[in-house]
Amino acid sequence: MTPSGVQPDVTDTDTRTPVVAALAEDLDADIAAVLGSPQGTVKSHISRGLKRLRLLYQGATMSSFDHDPLAAGLAALATDAPDGLLDRVAARWTRVAAAIGDVYVATTDHGIAYVRTGGDDEEFTASFRSRFGRPLLPAARPPAGLLPALRTGRSGGLRLDLRGLTSFEEAVLRTAMTIPKGEMRPYSWVAREIGRPRAVRAVGTALGHNPVPLLIPCHRVIRSDGALGEYVFGSPAKERLLRGEDVNVDELHALASKKIHFLGSEATGVVCFPSCRNARRISPSHRRGFRSLAQAEAAGYRPCGHCRPGAGVS
């Protein structure tokens, strides 16, 4: 007898192979349907798929349930999808205003996972699915804290979903998050901060893979020679963001053209990166430029405790 009380038309042969084959076809159809479904239907697809599992396995003999724990377990799945399952399966997207124009933002149940500019809804959805392999549905509203973070350039309180990154990439990005708004650090500084001083090129690659630009401010990382360097949204966007944070880009370019990469204060004996908040306070009459940190230290200057210029042009 089957669990429903109706004797099925079966032979003594093992029925699991055709049942599993039919089940696989059924799930493939469900998965395909989910990926193309509009908002609000994914949960119903999951529920129907779970119920079909039970119906399929009701075609097996009771003895197959007794001897096959997998079959018995799957047959017990006749239930609605639990609350919250949809958000564990699908991410949500929204489009919001930012300093460089509108950006698309995707959020999972672990936090904000992806930020990109340009294109349209379909392009962003395709890009997200290609990178993360998850369906993406429209969100009713932006995630909490996103708009203030984009407006202020401070995202320390946001939940970010950085799963899928290597430990090196995550270390690079979390170090970039420590760079204050309106300041810049060279790639070599990031490499030193994570304990990999020779991995400068790899640091640049990791920043280029930043899934959440603007929220992790990789635009604040520049080349050791003072050039702004590349950026995931393009060099013009990088310069626009820095100017929007009141970085004096023109002065920094002028200093770099003279090969001045550090500024020291004759009044305090401290040497800083030129964009450091302490460097901005040095009066012109007490300001002294240096090509390298070693040159500044040889002149009796000590590194700033705020910007920690322990790496850079040597």
Where does 60-211 have alpha helices with state H? 62-67, 69-75, 85-89, 121-132, 146-152, 167-176, 187-193, 200-208
Cα dist. 41→49, 215, 236 in Å? 12, 31, 41
> Which residue type, as a one-letter code, is found at position 51?
K
Is 218 marked active-site? yes
How many helices (H) and strands (E) the chain has is answered by: 14, 10
Q: Are strands 270-272 and 302-303 parallel, antiparallel or unpaired?
A: parallel
Structure tokens at 221: 């990382």
CA dist 67 and 226 (Å) reads 71
Set 218, 272, 304, 307: catalytic member: 218
- Containing 23, the helix (H) or strand (E) segment is helix 16-35
39-78 as b/e: b if 16+ CB within 10 A:
eeebbebbbebbebbbebbbbbbeebbeebeebeebbeeb
Three-state SS letters, 170-203: HHHHHHHCCCCCCCCEEHHHHHHHCCCCCCHHHH
Q: Give just the sign of the alpha carbon dihedral 98, 147, 110, 133.
A: negative
**Active-site residue set:** 218
